[in-house]
Chain A
Amino acid sequence: MQLINRYCTATLTDGIVHVQYRPFLHITLEDAQFIVEDRIRFFKDLRFPVLIKEAKIKSIDKAARHFLFDTQLGLKNINAIAFIESNKVDRMILKMIFHQYTPSIPHNSFQSEAKALVWLAQHR
């Protein structure tokens, strides 16, 4: 199963959804709401762990961060979430998210996709 929209491509493989965002995005609340609604509309009630690949997202504003990492909203139907840290900006954004928003589901960041997938496999 593969979802493609103007923000990302989300592919379900072996029970894990791999998400690849378009580069250089500035994500606002409106963008975040679309991303989540589209995912739920496509995958319906299916629950799965998520891998966010090398993103090159320039910014996620505060309201969008709140929305995306809310258990009932952005993290709905997600069992666990892993991020691939590919650059310094990724690391900065992830630090902020992990400290300020502390997702209530299992979450982690990795520099290797292989290690991320091994970790996510236990949350399928």
Chain B
Amino acid sequence: MPKQRDKRIDAINRALLEIAEGNFRHLAPVSDNFDDIDAIASGVNMLSEELRDTVISRNYLNSILRGIVDMLIIFDTDLRIKQVNQKVCELLAQPESHFLNQPLDTLFDGRKAKFIKTLKDSLLKKEQVYNLETRFKTAGSGRLPVTVSLSTLRNNRECIGYVLIAKDLKQIQLTSDALRQKNDELKTLVYRVSHDLKGPLASMQGLLQVIEQTETDLPTLNYYISLIKQSADKLHSTLMGLLEIGIADRTKLDVQKFDVADCIYDVINSLSNYPNREKVEITLEANTSVRFTSSEKLFRSIFQNLVENSIKYHRYRNNTPYIKINAKPWRGGIDIMVKDNGAGMNKAVLDRAFDMFYRGNHTSSGSGLGLFIVKSNIEKLGGELKIKSKPNQGTEVKLYLPSLDKF
């Protein structure tokens, strides 16, 4: 006669099935016998509790990994990569599979062998290594500056691996560089404002004093008045340039849909009385149906300054000075070219053309702010700018402005 099956075995089986389905709260009963079957039941119950906590911990850890903004890499005791977070793939421009089960060296290019050895030696001596600056290898032979911290992972007292956290220094460096640049611009602004305002004012004061203190005939008086007017115009030009920068910096971006060709024609027409305008032929090639979403105010300012510059620096000896403007939709934005056959710039001048208050031509009556304003406004609109120029051949400015539909 077969021995009656112990019902406790069925109860343990049921508990195991429940655990397999993720129900960790179902317990196998432990009887008062305290025999082998009870020991099995007790073991199953305790392991079920541990498994439940492991699953919760794993989910919890995954949530943390997703939330970490820095790069996080987990290694085993042989310093092979076991896990990377999304930030690693994003910043190093490689898929997860590129890293998994690869050695630590994968993160670096060949020249970092000494650093890797130092890192490994430090880990063996200490539990943690903090804030070492280095560079990771990115796709396409690039390098990303980072600061790394490593610490040992332990299970009870046993080392089971290492965790590395790396901060992207590039963004910090870019911000720092941008701040430094802004600071330099501010210093230049303060210096040049005082200089460029003081000069014309001093001239005007001096001329007025001369008129006041000496008897002048009418032609001489007219001459002095023309000089005063020149100084006033210079002053006005500087002040208008500063005002334009100030407005662009302080005003919240006002975005609207507008017709590109209409806007450019409008700008060209507004310059009809600009000195020497009649000598320069301006043509526009644009699809008249190109409607574009951006700040119309800043767009106009960009164009006004570019066209003014091209008119101002047309070549006097050239019989057919021209400005060609081309605008077409591209990559969800607008691609624009402004090309002239004017005086052009040599490399030394071109390198500084966009600096605040820089005048490549010392005889120029301009404030030196025009191209600075163009660059600032393009940056504010999230665009890109390229410029080519050769002396006596002309200048070509290409710019791309993205559509700001999302605003």
Q: Is the CB of A93 within 8 A of B46?
A: yes
Q: Which of B13-54 contact A (CB under 8 A)?
A: 27, 30, 32, 34-36, 38-40, 42-43, 45-46, 49-50, 53
Pick from A6-14, A37-45, A58-66 the stretch touching chain B: A58-66
Q: Is the CB of A62 within 8 A of B39?
A: no
Number of CB contacts from chain A to chain B under 8 A:
44
Closest residue of B by beta carbon distance from A26: B30
Point out the residues of chain A lying under 8 angstroms from B49, CB to CB: 61-62
Q: Is the CB of A89 within 8 A of B30?
A: yes
Q: Is the CB of A102 within 8 A of B34?
A: no
Q: Which of A83-98 contact B (CB under 8 A)?
A: 87-93, 96
- Produce 1/0 per residue, B46-86, CB < 8 A to A: 10011001000000000000000000000000000000000
Point out the residues of chain A lying under 8 angstroms from B42, CB to CB: 58-59, 89, 92-93
Point out the residues of chain A lying under 8 angstroms from B251, CB to CB: none
Does B156 sit at the interface, judged by CB under 8 A? yes
Closest residue of B by beta carbon distance from A95: B43
CA distance in complex: A81, B300 (Å): 84
Point out the residues of chain A lying under 8 angstroms from B36, CB to CB: 88
Most buried by B among A87, A88, A90, A91: A88
CA distance in complex: A90, B34 (Å): 8
- Produce 1/0 per residue, B148-180, CB < 8 A to A: 000000001100000000000000000000000
Q: Tell me how far the C-beta of A67 lies from the nearest C-beta in chain B, rounded to whole angstroms.
A: 14
Point out the residues of chain A lying under 8 angstroms from B157, CB to CB: 102
Q: Is the CB of B50 within 8 A of A89?
A: no
Chain B contact residues, majority secondary structure:
helix
Number of A residues near B (Cβ < 8 Å) is 17
- Produce 1/0 per residue, A27-44, CB < 8 A to B: 000000000000000000
Q: Give the contacting residue for B34; candidates A56, A61, A62, A96; CB below 8 A.
A: A56
Closest residue of A by beta carbon distance from B49: A62
Q: Give the contacting residue for A88; candidates B34, B45, B50; CB below 8 A.
A: B34
CA distance in complex: A100, B38 (Å): 20
A61-B49, A62-B49, A89-B38 known; A24 vs B32 contact (CB < 8 Å):
yes
Q: Is the CB of B30 within 8 A of A59?
A: yes
Point out the residues of chain B lying under 8 angstroms from A100, CB to CB: 50
CA distance in complex: A23, B38 (Å): 14
Q: Give the contacting residue for B45; candidates A24, A59, A87; CB below 8 A.
A: A59
- Produce 1/0 per residue, A91-124, CB < 8 A to B: 1110010001010000000000000000000000
Q: Tell me how far the C-beta of B37 lies from the nearest C-beta in chain A, rounded to whole angstroms.
A: 9
CA distance in complex: A59, B30 (Å): 8
Q: Give the contacting residue for B39; candidates A23, A24, A56, A92; CB below 8 A.
A: A92
Please give the residue numbers on chain B whose beta carbons come within 8 Å of chain A beta carbons, in ascending order: 27, 30, 32, 34-36, 38-40, 42-43, 45-46, 49-50, 53, 156-157
Please give the residue numbers on chain A whose beta carbons come within 8 Å of chain B beta carbons, in ascending order: 23-24, 56, 58-59, 61-62, 87-93, 96, 100, 102
Q: What are 24 sample pairs from A and B whose C-beta atoms fall under 8 A apart?
A: A23-B32, A58-B30, A58-B38, A58-B42, A59-B27, A59-B30, A59-B42, A59-B45, A59-B46, A62-B46, A62-B53, A87-B39, A88-B34, A88-B35, A88-B38, A88-B39, A89-B38, A89-B39, A90-B34, A92-B39, A92-B42, A93-B42, A102-B156, A102-B157
Pairs A-B, 5 closest by C-beta atoms: A88-B39, A87-B34, A62-B49, A58-B30, A92-B39
